Amino acid sequence: MSAHEDDITRRDFVGVTVAAASLYGGAVAEAAPVSGPADTANCSLTINGHRHDLQLEPRVTLLDLMREQLHLTGTKKGCDHGQCGACTVLSDGNRVLSCLTLAITQDGRHITTIEGLASGGQLHPMQEAFIEHDGFQCGFCTSGQICSAVAMLKEVRSGMPSAVSLNTKQTMTDEDIRERMSGNLCRCGAYPNIVAAIRSVEQRG
């Protein structure tokens, strides 16, 4: 993203600002926000139970907001293009990619990151299982893997099919777990242990 960050000429900027003055003038309603290119906009979102009332540039991704502004660096930036899954977080309980999510669109949503899974000093069962089964080597993909796996078990319980379960009519076979976790790449290749960790949590219920 940085290569294109300053991809705006002075002429563009002046033109846009002048146009914005007439287009956006005063018409900011609470329910249906409107902001110009030179503006920041109000955004309230809850991350790991803490509410944040923010003034955001619309181009800030949820990932960059968390890492650069809120110092929540547990969520990792891998590819920054939706190809690796390292930035996976939960939005209202659903797993999404924070690198392709503009933070402003999450106004009113509840975000859960790896920092929000433990409770009362007790690791989440999925975190414990990754440690127990050695589900990582370098650890860079791990927070995304764990967030993804937590949401995945919820999806299975709610009846979400996968490309594998649709045909085999069976969920949580090794093949099904791999398919459901295919959005999270691990370049160390810890996949067998990741599958084992997820299976152990599922079996414990």
Task: Determine if 162 is a binding residue for another protein (CB under 8 A).
Answer: yes
Task: Determine if 132 is a binding residue for another protein (CB under 8 A).
Answer: no
Nearer to another protein, 162 or 193 (CB): 162
Name the phi and psi angles at 111, rounded to 5: -105, 135
- List the beta bridge partners of residue 53: 44
- Taking the C-alpha atoms of residue 108 and residue 100, their distance in angstroms, rounded to an integer, is 18
- Taking the C-alpha atoms of residue 113 and residue 98, their distance in angstroms, rounded to an integer, is 10
Q: Find out whether 194 and 180 touch, Cβ atoms under 8 Å.
A: no
Of the candidates 83, 87, 105, the one whose C-alpha atom is nearest the C-alpha of residue 96 is 87
Task: Determine if 96 is a binding residue for another protein (CB under 8 A).
Answer: yes
Which of the stretches 17-25, 116-124, 127-135, 187-195 binds another protein when contact is defined by CB under 8 A? 17-25
Could you say which of 14, 21, 34, 131 contacts another protein (CB under 8 A)? 34
Could you say which of 32, 53, 120, 203 contacts another protein (CB under 8 A)? 32
Which of the stretches 44-52, 111-119, 133-141, 156-164 binds another protein when contact is defined by CB under 8 A? 156-164
What contacts 116, CB < 8 A, 6 or more positions away?
47, 48, 49
Q: How many CB atoms lie within 10 A of CB 107?
A: 14
- Taking the C-alpha atoms of residue 73 and residue 59, their distance in angstroms, rounded to an integer, is 19
Nearer to another protein, 61 or 193 (CB): 61
Task: Determine if 105 is a binding residue for another protein (CB under 8 A).
Answer: yes
Binding site for another protein (CB under 8 A): 1, 3-5, 7-8, 16, 19-20, 23-24, 31-39, 41, 57-59, 61, 80-82, 85, 88, 94-97, 100-102, 104-105, 107, 148, 151-152, 155, 159-163, 166, 178-180, 182-184
